[in-house]
Amino acid sequence: MIGSKSLNARGLHRQRVAWAYAMSQRRRRALAGRIDSAERESIDRDGFAVRPNALPADLLQRVRDEVASVPRPAWQMRQGQAVNRVMPLPAKSDGSAMAALARYLARPDIRNLMGYAAGRSGHIVGMLQTIAVDPPSGDADPQANLHADTFHPTAKLWLFLHDVGEEDGPFAYAPGSHILTPERLEWEHQQALFATAGDDRHHAAGSFRLAEEDLPSLGYHGGVRPMPVAGNTLVVADTYGFHRRCPSPHRTVRTSLYGVLRRNPFVPWNGVDALDLPVLRNRVMRTHLQMQDRRAKAGKSIVYENAGTILAETLPET
């Protein structure tokens, strides 16, 4: 139904985009007083906020040491020349640095910052993420195409454990492209009419792709800004704005704390998230990946393949 050309010609997609955006703005106003003013202004203006020195130095070193020396259960998917590997965080405090990262995501300042970027606060689904890119190993990375994650504000965070340089495939964002302009709304309408008939499966699924040179036609004139960062930098972004992973000309492997906040955009309140219940807290990603394992055993298609218990930065097979 959501992909119906006839319903979207009557305004289904246009209306849901407009309603979701308006409701996210109301929920943001309710959270505004809980956010650091500089970070709030950055999200309002650009769609992202950057916080250097995010972790205390002693915890950062513990995390780095643990990532380099302690194997953990891992799942991964290949997208062209890039492998995206994820490791769930512990559901309970076990004295590990990974459990400390889970507690970090539960801090009020992080929850409120993510909630503001997402347009609705709630439980952050967190994990350790490794991106390994080997340019000769496959087709182009589809995440290197400029895109929005879905039709409404959502948020992602990356706390990069090590430096990410200009040629290391840094995150990039089109500043201001999280703002719904009249031109963007009309473009959304036009894309919805034909998206499901296209060859790009990401675009067809609603993560609309856009060429960088087309940004000004949607009212966005800031170009695309790559974001090389020093280790221990936190980046929080509204992923309704157009973003991408920059292509890397050489083999790169990097690990970060990764978090996602994506909730129903048509509910008027912040918080009140079932995923915060003790029985579910910090178990969402592990449960999802275990379901992938069961699907694989049943011969069904999966996104993430079980990679066994390995070190986070183990190089993938080509």
For the chain, domain boundaries = 5-299
Q: What one-letter code names the amino acid at 182? A: P
pLDDT in tens, 247-268: 988 999 999 999 999 999 999 9
pLDDT at position 318, please? 59
Per-residue pLDDT tens digits for 108-164:
999 999 999 999 999 999 999 999 998 877 788 889 999 999 999 999 999 999 999
Give the model's pLDDT for residue 135: 83
**What is the share, in percent, of the chain residues with pLDDT greater than 90?**
90
Q: What are phi and psi of 275, to 5 degrees?
A: -70, -10
Segment 95-102 mean pLDDT: 97
Task: State mean pLDDT over 39-64.
Answer: 98
Asked if residue 176 has pLDDT above 80, the reply is yes
Measured distance CA(247)–CA(224) in Å, rounded: 13
Mean of the per-residue pLDDT values of the chain = 95
- pLDDT score for 136: 79
pLDDT higher than 80, residue 282 = yes
Q: Which of 44-53, 69-78, 200-209 has the lowest mean pLDDT?
A: 200-209
- Provide the CATH topology of domain 5-299: Jelly Rolls (2.60.120)
Q: Please list the alpha-helical segments (H only) found in the chain.
A: 5-9, 12-31, 37-46, 57-69, 97-105, 108-118, 182-194, 201-204, 284-297
Share of the chain above pLDDT 70, in %: 99
Write out the two tokens for 94. 């076990």
CA-to-CA distance for 177 and 314, rounded, in angstroms?
A: 35
Spell 163-185 as b/e; 16+ CB within 10 A means b.
ebeeebbbbbbbbbbbbbeeebb
